[in-house]
Structure 1
Amino acid sequence: MSDQEIKNDQERVLKFNILRFNPQVKGDTPVMKTYEVTEAPGMTIFIALNDIRENQEPSLQFDFICRAGICGSCGMVINGRPDLACRTLTSKFPDGEITLLPLPGFELIGDLSVNTGKFMRGMSERVESWVHDDMAEHVDLDRLEERMEPEVADEIYELERCVECGCCISACATKRMRDGFLGAVGFMRLARYYADPRDKRTDPDYYELIGDDDGVFGCMTLLGCQDYCPKDLPHQTQIAFLRKKMALVK
């Protein structure tokens, strides 16, 4: 057996450098701690974190629900890049050293856990994230929705793929400078309602929501949102679309 075959046959030991800090504990200070994990075939960052919590550090805080890249809960900064822990394979890091930090731009709960839900709820209320139906005051539960063309449904579905993980917010330079900036996740949500023929709100309504420096015109178009979106959503296209819509408002 060659030296290379022996090397490939051996189990690799991964080194995880993880920020530990619990703001709920008085006097606690941020510190980087290192943990070693034996790599397994197909291992993800999420699996490795569970191994660390089960066998080395029971107090380690991080979030997960679906483990399938759908819920967006396990967003964190992985070697300087915002991403989802459950879809990031450890095999993509040749040197076996991985540094994990919490997503910036959100309230820190502890260690790698941040409160994205607080931001997302505020965003949803700000953009009035529901279909504005002009028949809402006269609800008829037996009334059928109008038929929607398949291509329209496909366009809406494309915009609904956002899992609200917060990676776009953490990668946004504008958000770092302007706390009230809505961000790409909010723009994607509004673009979704623009595409929905069931939504009856008017252009001035949208302008009031995102037609200022904290809205779509405050974006510096650095497109960190698109570069780091785990779902590869067309943020650049939607930002340009909303800007065009806003420019047409009289």
Structure 2
Amino acid sequence: MIPFFKKSPANGQPRRLTVRILRHNPADPSSVPHLQDFAIEEAEGMTLFIALNEIRATQDNSLQFDFVCRAGICGSCAMLIDGRPGLACRTLTRDLGDTITLAPLPVFELIGDLSVNTGKWMRGTSERLQTWIHANSAPKLDALEERMEPALAEEIYELDRCIECGCCIAGCGTAQMREHFVGAIGLNKIGRFRLDPRDTRSDEDFYELIGDDDGVFGCMSLVGCHDVCPKQLPLQTQIAFLRRKMALMGLR
């Protein structure tokens, strides 16, 4: 059990928070989606991750939500926080109101309560977009990797910082309407492999993967993905670049 240390602020007693959670277990035929309120006392430096663990430890051990790293690296604790996608482990309760409403991320398959199966969606998208380095021949085990310019390596690393939390998909209007839309995360992955000089695929190969309405031309440029990305990746910049590139290829 995680210890929770309470400390009163200098101006008085700690806040009493109401955490309102959308509950539903799809594996239980009798379960009906409903909101359930939990009252807790706010602690100094409390995050939603800490609040949820306190609720599960002291009030309802059936509450389902995900976490691994607690440091904004794994992306497991992504959820809707007052209607906006975010990471529970990086969200301080002091930045929110007295009543906090939590719900699972949309688009993804619901496991239960705040837990969704982002891994299934991410794997399916990766397989569809073939997000691995394609080479003409397998590298020799004792071969040295080809030198890469530091500036290019940094550009690739910037796109590799994605933690696959699913926030960009949950905040995407197109993903809500188009079932097979690859979203910002899929387009970000394609952009990353287009930059990698070790990948031997041509622009035409990438066009076949994302040059349609389920790819780069499906984006409505609502900038939702860009706004909610917890790693502040340049998602809209990347999508705009790919769209111009694919549009020029389509005119040939």
Task: Please give the TM-score of this superposition, normalised by the length of structure 2.
Answer: 0.94
* Percent identical residues: 63
The equivalent of 2:16 in structure 1 is: 13
**Are positions 1:110 and 2:112 aligned together?**
yes
Q: What is the CA-CA distance between 1:145 and the residue it aligns to?
A: 1.1
Q: What is the CA-CA distance between 1:150 and the residue it aligns to?
A: 0.8
Q: What is the CA-CA distance between 1:7 and the residue it aligns to?
A: 7.3
CA distance in 2, matches of 1:195, 1:96: 46
CA distance in 2, matches of 1:40, 1:195: 46
Q: What is the CA-CA distance between 1:188 and the residue it aligns to?
A: 0.5
**Are positions 1:76 and 2:107 aligned together?**
no
The equivalent of 1:168 in structure 2 is: 168
The equivalent of 1:140 in structure 2 is: 140
> In structure 2, the residue corresponding to 1:16 is in which secondary structure?
strand
CA distance in 2, matches of 1:125, 1:8: 55
CA gap 1:112/1:194 in 2 versus in 1, 3 angstroms: same
CA displacement, residues 10-56 of structure 1 (integer Å, 9 cap, x when unaligned): 11111100011101011210110000111111110000000000000
Q: What is the CA-CA distance between 1:135 and the residue it aligns to?
A: 2.3
CA distance in 1, matches of 2:9, 2:129: 57
CA displacement, residues 168-217 of structure 1 (integer Å, 9 cap, x when unaligned): 10111111111011100001111111111111111111011000110001
1:82-161 mapped onto 2 (5 Å cutoff): 82-93=85-96, 95-136=97-138, 139-161=139-161
CA distance in 2, matches of 1:49, 1:71: 17
Q: Which amino acid aligns with 1:163?
A: I
CA distance in 1, matches of 2:189, 2:88: 24
Structure 1: which 5+ runs fail to align?
A: none
Q: What is the CA-CA distance between 1:9 and the residue it aligns to?
A: 2.8
Equivalences, count: 243
CA distance in 1, matches of 2:24, 2:68: 22
Structure 2: which 5+ runs fail to align?
A: 1-7
CA displacement, residues 79-122 of structure 1 (integer Å, 9 cap, x when unaligned): 010000000000001x3210000000111000000010010000
The equivalent of 1:29 in structure 2 is: 32
CA distance in 1, matches of 2:233, 2:180: 23
Task: Please give the TM-score of this superposition, normalised by the length of structure 1.
Answer: 0.94
**Are positions 1:190 and 2:195 aligned together?**
no
Q: What is the CA-CA distance between 1:248 and the residue it aligns to?
A: 3.0
Q: Which amino acid aligns with 1:238?
A: Q
> In structure 2, the residue corresponding to 1:40 is in which secondary structure?
coil
> In structure 1, the residue corresponding to 2:11 is in which secondary structure?
helix
